[in-house]
Structure 1
Amino acid sequence: MARRPTIQDLRANRGTHQYAMLRVETLDEAEAAERAGVELLSVPPALLMDPRFRDAAPSAFACPGDNFYNIGGPEKMLDWALTMVRHGADAVYCSGSVAAIRLLADHAVPVCGHVGLIPSKATWTGGFKAVGKTLDQAQMIYRQCKALEEAGAFAVEIEVVPQSITDAIAEHTDLFLISMGAGPGGHAQYLFSDDVLGQTTGKVPRHAKRYRDFAAEYARLHRDRIAAYGEFVADVHSGSYPAPQYLVAGDAEVTAAFRHWLSEEA
């Protein structure tokens, strides 16, 4: 089993090793990621708090995250983050304010911010599209990175930003950059398990590479499910289920005695 990376490891390996990162939603996905050698995992808080999680992924660097709208302001974010650390988080994701980042860092919580396309703040950058294609936007992303760095963040997720902008930012910050569709200038490459497995419904992000087609497999399984249910219904209606091999045989003498007792009870 590989040793779980530390913050110091991630910082030391910037530019020399590309880390693989996945968002996983289930214990099965966490266990599969562990066995496949995925080093960094983004996880729902509930999954991290499941006592079986560390058995499934003992060597993965786990970073739980939730929309800050679901958590609240800095003080609530701190309470949430400390709970995550108590349950074994190696870091926490925070897309909230710089003040929240600073408060978490002041309490020695390793915290990862977010720049570029931030889904919870997409209205400010024009919706779900690339951010940083203009000079003003590129400057904004860099200033946000520096503000998060100065507040104490050790990392930022940089999402759907032109790779040339990511490259330039990486040269001017000590942050560990987690690239989601922002190019190899990031220090980790991040995808969602749903996209990797091909089980995303609706529009698939441009940066998402599909390695399997679970959606087709699930569709096939669902067709088989319906067929199996139909065969069960047919067997019940025809009387072929339950057949003797699915039943518990009773002792003839016991059954006769029971029937005699019932007749007297009645």
Structure 2
Amino acid sequence: MPTIFTFGGKMAKRNVTVADLQAGKGKRQFTETTVFKVEDAITGAAAGIDVLRPEDTFVAETVAAAPETFISALIPFDAYETPDQILGAAIRAVSAGADAVYTPRGLKVVEMLAREGIPVQGHLGLVPRKSTWVGGLRAIGKTCDEALQLYQTFKDLENAGAYAAEVELVPPETLALINERTSLVTYSIGCGGVGDVIFLFMDDICGELESPPRHAKAYADLRSLRAQLRAEQIKALTAFKEDVDAGTFPGPGKAARMANEELDAFREALDRM
């Protein structure tokens, strides 16, 4: 496991580095999933997931929970308006221990971050927040003309200085041909398993959604388990309230007792007041 010096100025071990991801292109596939709470980071690292993606404001907690896992921090589209704000957020994220940042913003933002030496990942194919430009949530690159346009966006992102791109809902045939012709590390989601890093949201992997997207595959059924847990909680809380209402809570043996002689002495002392 390589030793690195983080952007925050600390020695650390990492399961992979940017250089490892680049060197692995076309030779092996890595995995990535999302982190929304500390437990996600702990379980993701325990499962050997190669890359974890928290939001920028949750990096420190993620690093503390998964100190040896590559962290790619999301800079949300709607969290920051100006370039200076985005740059500040990115610097704070890598200073907190992130190894790279991901942004769905435009090329000028990517260029700005890359000029600072921050490994930056863009977003190509379907960008859900920009889906109005393509007529809605749909696959991108199903025709020759659209695939050629998509290829050009890969080149534009390369030229902007990105090391990687999230590629979403692109036909696997299209991405396979482009992936051979780009230096970008492709983090693919909904691309039929083609890509350098296979990305899937943790709630999709764990089966937490009632209506998951077509490209998702659930490896557990946490939604049903959480429903059972809620039912048990309601059952317990209802029984507790019923006992209180009936005067049977807490019942004998559930509290400390004062010795009779001490109780008598206390009562007499109160009466003398």
For this structure pair, what is the TM-score category when the shorter chain's length is used for normalisation? over 0.9
Q: What is the distance in 1 between the residues matched to 2:75 and 2:95?
A: 17
Q: Equivalent residues in 2 for 1:182-193 (5 A)?
A: 182-193=191-202
Match of 1:170 among 176, 179, 182: 179
Match of 1:32 among 5, 22, 43: 43
Could you state the TM-score of these two structures normalised by the residue count of structure 1? Answer: 0.94
* Residue pair 1:166, 1:183 contacting (<8 A) in 2 also: no
Aligned to 2:235: 227
Deviation of 1:216 after TM superposition, in Å, equals 0.5
Could you state the TM-score of these two structures normalised by the residue count of structure 2? Answer: 0.91
Letter in 1 for 2:24: N
Deviation of 1:54 after TM superposition, in Å, equals 2.5
SS of residue paired to 1:99 = helix
Task: Report which of the two has the higher share of helix.
Answer: 1
Q: Equivalent residues in 2 for 1:74-153 (5 A)?
A: 74-153=83-162
Aligned to 1:48: 59
CA 1:55/1:67 → structure 2, altered by over 3 Å: closer, same or farther?
closer
Match of 2:28 among 17, 42, 45: 17
Deviation of 1:251 after TM superposition, in Å, equals 2.4
Tell which deviates more after alignment, 179-188 or 204-213: 179-188
CA 1:226/1:34 → structure 2, altered by over 3 Å: closer, same or farther?
same
Q: What is the distance in 1 between the residues matched to 2:148 and 2:77?
A: 24
State whether structure 2 residue 221 is matched by structure 1 residue 213: yes
State whether structure 2 residue 19 is matched by structure 1 residue 8: yes
SS of residue paired to 1:114 = strand
Deviation of 1:24 after TM superposition, in Å, equals 1.8
State whether structure 2 residue 108 is matched by structure 1 residue 69: no
- The unaligned stretches of length 5 or more in structure 2 are 2-12
Match of 2:189 among 168, 175, 180: 180
Q: What is the distance in 2 between the residues matched to 1:245 and 1:138?
A: 74
Q: What is the distance in 2 between the residues matched to 1:115 and 1:136?
A: 16
Aligned to 2:67: 58
Tell which deviates more after alignment, 217-226 or 131-140: 131-140
Deviation of 1:68 after TM superposition, in Å, equals 2.0
Deviation of 1:253 after TM superposition, in Å, equals 2.3
Aligned to 1:238: 246
Q: What is the distance in 1 between the residues matched to 2:270 and 2:136?
A: 74
Deviation of 1:74 after TM superposition, in Å, equals 2.4
Q: What is the distance in 2 between the residues matched to 1:188 and 1:159?
A: 12
Identical-pair percentage = 36
Q: What is the distance in 2 between the residues matched to 1:69 and 1:225?
A: 36
Aligned residue-pair number: 262
Q: What is the distance in 2 between the residues matched to 1:120 and 1:21?
A: 21
Aligned to 2:167: 158
Q: What is the distance in 2 between the residues matched to 1:110 and 1:103?
A: 11
Deviation of 1:35 after TM superposition, in Å, equals 0.9
Q: What is the distance in 2 between the residues matched to 1:252 and 1:46?
A: 57
Q: What is the distance in 2 between the residues matched to 1:3 and 1:88?
A: 11
Q: Equivalent residues in 2 for 1:194-213 (5 A)?
A: 194-201=203-210, 203-213=211-221
Q: What is the distance in 1 between the residues matched to 2:27 and 2:81?
A: 37
Letter in 2 for 1:61: F
* Residue pair 1:75, 1:100 contacting (<8 A) in 2 also: no
SS of residue paired to 1:232 = helix
State whether structure 2 residue 255 is matched by structure 1 residue 247: yes
SS of residue paired to 1:103 = helix
- The unaligned stretches of length 5 or more in structure 1 are none
Deviation of 1:8 after TM superposition, in Å, equals 0.7
